Structure 1
């Protein structure tokens, strides 16, 4: 599994405590188009604390999509709208997948 961002300085107990308060692991989406080709990708995994906004983590991916995602026809606009919706909704919650992966590594 790739490194998880935004967990620097947190112990396993700190992470578990945050998860019980509503924290989550999320990825953000972005897309960019080059002429007729459009690429849709996901960001690294981010740990978002219960009282933390996702905006500071998603803004770069959102701006990348706004400026460079639309230009490929037909998928550019379609992927851009989907990526923007995901990012503006707080990202794609993958908490369960991350926990399953951690548990599988520990067993």
Structure 2
């Protein structure tokens, strides 16, 4: 098992739509994340900066690295691109957050 944390950035004025899309997450995307070994995924919001902070837990035998090539993932990124800062392929820009402290 591993834990990954990263930051993403929303564009101004799109929070309600971002929240709505995640509240209505596609069943095929949810299944894909689970099949890829992601078993716990949370996104937090800093309302002052519109920064998103994601934390996900991944099984040791995951195939998470294959997600960027999957058609469902690409379609999700395309749909979310108007709401976020993205790379040229519409993948959300991510800034890795190193683990400083963990209490179990």
Per the normalisation by structure 2, the TM-score is 0.32
Per the normalisation by structure 1, the TM-score is 0.32
Considering fraction of residues, name the structure with more helix.
Answer: 1
Higher relative contact order (CA 8 A, sep 6+): 2
Q: Which has the larger radius of gyration?
A: 1
